[in-house]
Amino acid sequence: MKKYRDHFFLKAKQENYPARSVYKLKEIDKNFRIFKPGMRVLDLGAAPGSWSLAAAEAVGARGSVLGADLQPTATQFPPQVAFVVEDVFARSERFEALLAERAPFHVVMSDMAPKTTGTKFTDQARSLELCREALHVARLYLIQGGSFVVKIFMGPDVQEFVREMRRHFAAVKMFKPKSSRAESKEVFYVAMGFAGPDAAAQDAP
């Protein structure tokens, strides 16, 4: 197990990524082809920046990536990446303006995770709360036909969340990357073919 974990940790260091999580997104893209050159990407829970870097590589210099996280990062990003310190649950007027300026996004992705308590059901509930807010943001700012990628801790309420995603996307697939730790409860859902912001707005509470 340690050798398996060390492989991705060392690989990230060798390839100048700040975290091993980069390989999860690379696996997702290899399987689902969510990125294309020139796309606009929103990365929620972006620190320390591995997903933003991987997305920037995929969309190229003509694309753009906006990363946001509660925590700052010292990662050096290429010119097509902008990073802001923001709370997705309490989006500032500045952040909302930035989102509106860059929208619509072709991909909204969330690697957000709660601070774990060691209590399984508490951690699962907090993870689900983050996922629901990420989906809300995606419904506001995704382009029609766009994709949504979200990390979630498996729990009893996940299927309800999956049904919610399926109301707004043509296809929703579960994926467990090989680079995820075997003992981790995290899985990723990849939702493709967004119905469009008009449909989302009409269905909003």
Q: Which residues are part of the catalytic machinery?
A: 151
User: Is 197 in contact with 140 (CB distance < 8 Å)?
Assistant: yes
